[in-house]
Amino acid sequence: MGAVGIAAVSIGYNVLHMPDAALNAANEPALPSSPMAQQPGDPESVIRGLQDRVGANPNDAEGWQMLGWAYFENGRHADAVRAYRHATKLVPGNATFWSSLGEAAAMASEHDPMPREAAAAFDRAIAIDPKDPRARYFMAVRKDLAKDHEGAIRDWLALLTDTPPGAPWEADLRRTIEQVGKINGIDVAGRLAAVKPIAPHPSMGGGMSVAAAAIPGPSREQMQAASQLPKGQQDAMVEGMVSGLEAKLKANPGNVDGWIMLMRSRMTLGETVKAASAYAQAKAANPAQAGRIRDEARILGVPGV
């Protein structure tokens, strides 16, 4: 499952599990926790806070969803599955809950790349929302696993066509299509060229880069609910998220989209020196993409660019 495995990491992790809470602290604080348990930069404190939240209110579907995301981000995929199951039972009509469950189940499986629970969850998600990008991506993975490589490529191309301009997963999705095409002797160059990337729109709200802003995140209702938290809890939660992203980039410095996200996060938090440091590290680690990194940093207002 070589190409499929690469693809799953690209879409599942880089794209669909980067919540806007870590990217836009002013608008989307989405993982509340206990102020006693929360310590900036400590992902486990976020998990403990969410465990306390659902423990106090087991019918809090959004709390279970957020707990599932926190588990997933920390590599605890089996725990994420259990949390997402609670969310889907409480709100069975939410496509995001189902596609999140499906992805977690796929990642938790040690041998079967598409276990029965994952496949069923993606089916439910698509039935509720045929445009759910996570479910669409993994439905194509399922076709590829079934040796319907042409069908998988066709579905990925359709997803690419619907991808928001400049979205951070565009390059990964294109690379997945290229890899699966190459492995299976399918010429995709012309079809990929027909889906032309569109430059980020200059009028994006707040001057933010489309590449950093177009990532699916918590719902508006979730954001409104989380905004009721005391500011200290919000700030500690967000700093923990951003620190977690920074740690992942140290392990994978070639993730240019991740560096752009980190720069945006630091600028949103008013941490301009740290944003400038992220910019310097991103360029040093990715000299071939220095131009893109510079352009994104300029849009974000990173000092010294």
Confidence grade of residue 4 (pLDDT, cut at 50, 70, 90): very low
199-210 mean pLDDT: 39
Determine the pLDDT at residue 299.
Answer: 76
Give tens-digit pLDDT for 14-54: 334 433 332 222 222 222 222 223 333 467 888 888 999 99
Between 132 and 205, name the one with better pLDDT: 132
How far apart (Å, rounded) are the C-alpha atoms in residues 257 and 114? 27
CATH number, domain 2-217:
1.25.40.10
User: How high does pLDDT run on average in the chain?
Assistant: 75
pLDDT above 90 (res 195): no
In percent, the amount of the chain with pLDDT more than 90 equals: 37
Across 138-144, average pLDDT: 93
8 A C-beta contact, residue 52 and residue 31: no
pLDDT band at 146 (very low <50, low <70, confident <90, very high): very high
205 or 96, greater pLDDT: 96
In DSSP notation, the chain reads: -HHHHHHHIIIIIIITT--GGGT-TTT-------TTT--TT-HHHHHHHHHHHHHH-TT-HHHHHHHHHHHHHTT-HHHHHHHHHHHHHH-TT-HHHHHHHHHHHHHH-SS-SS-HHHHHHHHHHHHH-TT-HHHHHHHHHHHHHTT-HHHHHHHHHHHHHHSPTT-TTHHHHHHHHHHHHHHTT---HHHHHHS---PPPTT-GGG--HHHH------HHHHHHHTTS-HHHHHHHHHHHHHHHHHHHHH-TT-HHHHHHHHHHHHHTT-HHHHHHHHHHHHHH-GGGHHHHHHHHHHHT-TT-
pLDDT at position 262: 87
Write down the pLDDT at residue 231: 55
- Tens of pLDDT, residue by residue over 63-115, are 899 899 889 888 899 999 999 999 999 999 999 899 999 999 999 988 888 99
Q: Give pLDDT tens digits for 148-181.
A: 999 999 999 999 998 876 666 777 888 889 999 9
| CA separation for the pair 252, 257 (Å, rounded) | 11
